[in-house]
Amino acid sequence: QEQLVESGGGLVQPGGSLRLSCAASGFTLRYYAIGWFRQAPGREREGVSCISSSEGSTHYAESVKGRFTISRDNVKNTVYLEMNSLKPEDTAVYYCAAKYTDFPAGPLCYTYGMDYWGKGTLVTVSS
């Protein structure tokens, strides 16, 4: 059964760091573009970052640019989101999603009709 599983969320103080993982099972992640999304209470889901399947291009939302880094390890079938200098407004449930495509990453990557979604991991930034 194909699935994505996020992990690495938790409670962190402002200014702290977390690394989220998105592990795929049942399919080979290397052929998929991956997006990270988040949804805060009472707010719509928003795209955070995405990475292409093959040529390694990445895109970041303005709100996280310079603080978050997306990467992938195709051997481990896993994509990561390194989050630094976390702010209270980063508090949300973070989801990863996969789309079978070789399109380069860009602002449209968050609009893809994703093939798979994870169930999310909660990140809370609070003192």
Measured in degrees and rounded to the nearest 5, phi and psi for residue 109 equal -65, -25
Instruction: Categorize the per-residue pLDDT at 127 as very low, low, confident or very high, splitting at 50, 70 and 90.
Output: very high
**What's the mean per-residue pLDDT of the chain?**
95
Q: Does 106 score more than 90 pLDDT?
A: no
Say what the pLDDT of residue 104 is. 86
Tell me what pLDDT residue 55 has.
Answer: 82
State the Cα–Cα distance between residues 83 and 28, nearest whole angstrom: 25
The two tokens of residue 85 are: 């200098």
In contact, 123 and 90? CB cutoff 8 Å:
yes
**pLDDT at residue 12, rounded to an integer:** 98
Contact 108, 50 (CB under 8 A): no
